[in-house]
Amino acid sequence: MGIRRRLKGVLRQAIGGRSGPSDPPTPETTPPPVESPPTEAPAPVHEQSAEVETPAEPAEPAESTESTESTEPTEPTEPTASTEPTASSGPDEDKIAKHFEKARRGVLAFVEKEGGETTLHAMHSYSERRYFIAHQRFSELMEGLVEQGLVLYDTAEGEATLTEAGKAYLA
């Protein structure tokens, strides 16, 4: 800040204006010292236990009102906005489902192209590279294929084999 002040003074003298020393001094401000709040000594154990019990008392009436509300018969309510599909979520979900089905068929076709038997690693790489389905979503895809009996998976060998049902599904 001192350099700036001297530079301003030199420029004012060159221009013919007021000189630096006649400028009113600018006070340098320092932040006030921060006072920390006084720390209190920890309360004895018997006082702490009394404090803990105090919040429990107001909670008891709240619980009793909840239980009476739940015993009353409730009328069916209309779905809220959060449960209703919005105009934008419906088509997106449809697109996702169609893409997933396309990926399932594509992975089955890949296994058939590989001679009806291939490794899980090759299937995973193919689904990731071609359909951008990897990791957890690929696990869901494989579990669905195995549950439907379209593919048999040998965990010891790490190979998947296309079944007759899988071939019929592709046709």
What are the average pLDDT values for consecutive 10-residue runs of the chain, which has 171 residues?
Answer: 81 71 60 66 54 49 47 49 50 91 95 95 94 92 95 93 94 87
Q: What is the pLDDT of residue 80?
A: 43
What is the pTM for the complete model shown? 0.48
> Tokens 């004012």 belong to which residue?
12
Q: What is the pLDDT of residue 5?
A: 83
The SS3 assignment for 12 reads helix
- 106-127 pLDDT per residue, tens: 999 999 999 999 999 999 999 9
Q: What is the pLDDT of residue 84?
A: 45
What pairing do the DSSP bridges indicate for beta strands 117-119 and 151-154? Answer: unpaired
Q: What is the pLDDT of residue 17?
A: 64
Q: What is the pLDDT of residue 22?
A: 55
Q: What is the pLDDT of residue 83?
A: 41
Pairwise CA distance, residues 137 & 166, whole Å: 20
Alpha helices, DSSP H, located in 42-148: 45-71, 89-113, 120-131, 136-147
Buried b vs exposed e over 65-102: b needs ≥16 C-beta within 10 Å?
eeeeeeeeeeeeeeeeeeeeeeeeeeeeeeeeeeebee
Q: What is the pLDDT of residue 90?
A: 74
Q: What is the pLDDT of residue 82?
A: 41
